[in-house]
């Protein structure tokens, strides 16, 4: 047999290599190659809170509410209420299981609190003013909690919300999956969508807009994405597959959004990733308070997110205006292949059932001597229809809308799943903390109310909750 020249060459090469280099560290026998490290792109967002804690599983940040100058419209500085001087507030970022410590200072002219919308924490840290003393002007409060769920959330005051949120107090939260469960996407973007009412001088119109605002909540005349009058621009790489997180922080307006120049699958809802991405939707309805997470793929070199809103003067209910919210431009092809499908972690949801014992929450409104009053089960907050549940016991909440207006129902500290609308089963998968109940509609949601504590629920139209549409459930261990 003739010798294999490549084999015979090896000893000589090896001898040369050994002579040239110091001895390499010995390899442990039978070492497995390390598991592939999943890398996640940083979340694209203008400002992120700085973690000053050395332990990687603790996020410790400072946050201040103060009056500041912002430019919602480029070149037009105005006064607003801000977290750390800008709108939206800086991104709070953590990884599931982390301990989060927020040293909050209130430098606003009035008391406030911070509510961590969607985080299943303990009720004493939930930022509602009947469980926590409001933080007075000039005072500080330290919020500390552990984040049990990965997903997209947000924070905002829970006092005089119709005014405090409208003036600019809201910010995004991302709780990352553990590295081994992180989907591999090329970019991660958080778009905070708002609709604000500006005066002709471009200032945030003073609150108190009369009957119309009480009725439907305050609608704005200007859309903001990440605090800028639309449409701000961004750039992307053509072959990238991206993760987009959307939240609606408006006072009242439900957004219907879609994409041009790109396609999407829904990969997550309020409570994090879905077991299977949802395909085939062309537009999404995003009620106030709710979040969507999308897997976005570009199909053109110009792409935009748009809102579809009913035709301006309401004269023709079949017509819509299309408002671009953000405009993206490609900087060329990325290194990835456009058809690649990211892997998503296995996700299972708690079992819920439409036949679980039902608790009814009926939404209504009437005209009182001082204006409109919004009620749940006939009473207006702070009066309330007290009820209690046992943690972990299945409950079906029957949300009955006795009004013609829509009400985005929000439950604190717990998730639910949407089961039926007007008695018909629906396919609206995902863990939610917010669901839109349309005018005169009944929505059935299932939950196991797993998180003990006193938890508020309310309409997330801030004018409606401010006029009484709030209640509380006590979940006992
Ligand atoms: Cu986003 Cu009780 O609120
Ligand atoms: Cu409402």
Quickly list DSSP for 340-388.
---------PPP--TTSPEEEEEEEEEEETTEEEEEETTB-TTS---EE
pLDDT reading at 9 higher than 70 = no
Q: Ligand 1 in contact with 410 (CB < 6 A)?
A: yes
Helix (H) / strand (E) containing 473: strand 470-476
How much is the pLDDT for 10? 41
Cα angle 240-244-247, degrees, rounded to a multiple of 5: 170
Query: Average pLDDT of the chain?
Result: 92
How much is the pLDDT for 38? 64
Cα angle 31-36-42, degrees, rounded to a multiple of 5: 145
pLDDT reading at 313 higher than 90 = no
Helix (H) / strand (E) containing 211: helix 211-216
Residues with a beta carbon under 5 angstroms from ion ligand 2: 407, 459, 461, 464
Among 301, 287, 368, CA closest to 331: 301
Cα angle 99-105-107, degrees, rounded to a multiple of 5: 155
In the sheet where 434-437 sits, what is the strand order?
Answer: 387-390, 470-476, 453-459, 407-411, 434-437
- For 471, the 3-state DSSP assignment is strand
The position carrying tokens 């053509």 is 238
- Specify burial of residue 15 (Cβ count, 10 A radius: 0-12, 13-18, 19+): exposed
Q: Ligand 1 in contact with 464 (CB < 6 A)?
A: no
pLDDT bucket at 34, cuts 50 / 70 / 90: low
How much is the pLDDT for 283? 97
Q: How far is the CA of 154 from the centre of ligand 1 (A)?
A: 9
For residue 305, list its beta bridge partners: 259, 326
Instruction: Give percent of the chain above pLDDT 90.
Output: 84
The pLDDT of 70-94, averaged and rounded, is 98
pLDDT in tens, 127-161: 999 999 999 999 999 999 999 999 999 999 999 99
Protein residue whose Cα sits closest to atom 1 of ligand 1: 117
Among 262, 259, 260, CA closest to 238: 262
The pLDDT of 62-87, averaged and rounded, is 98
Ligand 1: nearest atom to the Cα of 456: 2
The pLDDT of 406-422, averaged and rounded, is 98
Cis peptide before 115 (omega within 30 of 0): no
Q: Ligand 1 in contact with 456 (CB < 6 A)?
A: yes
Q: How far is the CA of 349 from the centre of ligand 2 (A)?
A: 28
Query: What token pair was written down for 95?
Result: 């990884």
Q: Ligand 1 in contact with 117 (CB < 6 A)?
A: yes
Q: Ligand 1 in contact with 127 (CB < 6 A)?
A: no
Q: Ligand 1 in contact with 412 (CB < 6 A)?
A: yes
- Specify burial of residue 33 (Cβ count, 10 A radius: 0-12, 13-18, 19+): exposed
Q: How far is the CA of 31 from the centre of ligand 1 (A)?
A: 51
Q: How far is the CA of 281 from the centre of ligand 1 (A)?
A: 27
Q: How far is the CA of 158 from the centre of ligand 1 (A)?
A: 7
SS (H, E, C) 135-193: ECCCCEEEEEEECCCCEEEEEECCCCHHHHCCCCCCEEEEEECCHHHCCCCCEEEEEEE
Q: Ligand 1 in contact with 243 (CB < 6 A)?
A: no
Cα gap 287→177, rounded to integer Å: 25
How much is the pLDDT for 29? 56
The pLDDT of 345-351, averaged and rounded, is 95
- Specify burial of residue 345 (Cβ count, 10 A radius: 0-12, 13-18, 19+): middle
Query: What token pair was written down for 367?
Result: 């005209």
How much is the pLDDT for 6? 41
pLDDT bucket at 124, cuts 50 / 70 / 90: very high
Q: How far is the CA of 221 from the centre of ligand 2 (A)?
A: 20
Q: Ligand 1 in contact with 286 (CB < 6 A)?
A: no
pLDDT reading at 122 higher than 70 = yes
Ligand 1: nearest atom to the Cα of 115: 3
Cα gap 386→424, rounded to integer Å: 29
Q: Higher pLDDT residue, 439 or 318?
A: 439
pLDDT reading at 58 higher than 90 = yes
Query: What token pair was written down for 310?
Result: 């009913």
Strands (E), 221-347: 222-225, 228-229, 233-236, 241-248, 255-260, 262-269, 272-278, 283-286, 291-298, 302-310, 320-330
Q: Ligand 1 in contact with 289 (CB < 6 A)?
A: yes
Q: How far is the CA of 175 from the centre of ligand 1 (A)?
A: 18
Cis peptide before 127 (omega within 30 of 0): no
Q: Ligand 1 in contact with 303 (CB < 6 A)?
A: no
Query: What token pair was written down for 384?
Result: 């309330």
pLDDT in tens, 228-281: 999 999 999 999 999 999 999 999 999 999 999 999 999 999 999 999 999 999
pLDDT in tens, 206-236: 987 788 898 999 999 999 999 999 999 999 9
For residue 442, list its beta bridge partners: 400
Query: What token pair was written down for 212?
Result: 């119309």
Q: How far is the CA of 455 from the centre of ligand 2 (A)?
A: 18
For residue 329, list its beta bridge partners: 235, 302
Q: Ligand 1 in contact with 458 (CB < 6 A)?
A: yes
In the sheet where 115-117 sits, what is the strand order?
Answer: 92-95, 171-176, 151-156, 115-117
pLDDT reading at 36 higher than 90 = no
pLDDT bucket at 27, cuts 50 / 70 / 90: low
Cα gap 376→362, rounded to integer Å: 5
Helix (H) / strand (E) containing 459: strand 453-459
The pLDDT of 355-381, averaged and rounded, is 96
Number of Cβ within a 10 Å radius of residue 3: 7
Protein residue whose Cα sits closest to atom 3 of ligand 1: 117
């Amino acid at each position: 047999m003739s010798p294999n020249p490549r084999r015979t060459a090896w000893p000589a090469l090896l001898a040369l290599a050994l002579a040239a280099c110091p001895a390499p560290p010995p390899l442990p026998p039978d070492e497995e190659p390390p598991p592939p490290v999943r890398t996640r792109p940083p979340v694209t967002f203008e400002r992120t809170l700085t973690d000053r804690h050395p332990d990687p599983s603790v996020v410790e940040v400072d946050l201040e509410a103060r009056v500041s100058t912002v430019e919602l419209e480029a070149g037009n500085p105005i006064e607003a209420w801000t977290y750390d001087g800008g709108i939206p507030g800086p991104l709070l970022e953590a990884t599931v299981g982390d301990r989060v410590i927020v040293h909050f200072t209130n430098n606003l002219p009035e008391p406030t609190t911070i509510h961590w919308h969607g985080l299943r924490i303990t009720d004493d840290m939930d930022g509602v003013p009947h469980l926590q003393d409001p933080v007075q002007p000039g005072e500080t409060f330290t919020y500390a909690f552990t984040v049990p769920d990965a997903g997209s959330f947000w924070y905002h005051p829970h006092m005089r919300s119709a005014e405090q949120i409208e003036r600019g107090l809201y910010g995004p939260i991302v709780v990352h999956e553990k590295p081994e469960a992180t989907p591999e996407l090329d970019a991660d973007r958080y778009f905070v969508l708002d609709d604000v009412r500006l005066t002709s001088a471009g200032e945030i119109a003073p609150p108190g807009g009369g009957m119309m605002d009480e009725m439907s909540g305050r609608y704005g005349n200007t859309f903001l994405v990440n605090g800028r009058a639309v449409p701000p621009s961004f750039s992307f790489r053509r072959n990238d597959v991206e993760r987009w997180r959307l939240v609606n922080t408006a006072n009242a307006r439900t957004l219907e959004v879609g994409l041009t120049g790109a396609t999407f699958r829904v990969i997550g809802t309020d409570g994090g990733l879905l077991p299977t991405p949802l395909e085939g939707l062309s537009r999404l309805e995003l009620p106030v308070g709710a979040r969507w997470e999308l897997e976005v793929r570009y199909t053109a070199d110009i792409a935009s997110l748009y809102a579809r809103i009913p035709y301006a003067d309401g004269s023709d209910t079949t017509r819509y205006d299309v408002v671009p919210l953000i405009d993206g431009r490609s900087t060329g092809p990325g290194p990835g292949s456009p058809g690649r499908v990211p892997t998503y972690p296995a996700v299972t949801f708690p079992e819920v059932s439409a036949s679980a014992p039902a608790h009814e929450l009926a939404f209504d409104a009437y005209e009182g001597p001082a204006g409109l009053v919004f009620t749940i089960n006939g009473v207006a907050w702070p009066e309330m229809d007290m009820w209690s549940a046992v943690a972990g016991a299945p409950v079906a909440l029957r949300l009955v809308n006795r009004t013609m207006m829509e009400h985005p129902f929000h439950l604190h500290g717990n998730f639910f799943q949407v089961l039926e609308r007007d008695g018909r089963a629906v396919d609206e998968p995902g863990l939610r903390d917010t669901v839109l109940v349309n005018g005169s509609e009944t929505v059935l949601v299932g939950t196991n109310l797993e998180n003990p504590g006193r938890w508020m629920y309310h309409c997330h139209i801030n004018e409606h909750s401010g006029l009484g549409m709030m209640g509380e459930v006590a979940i006992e261990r």
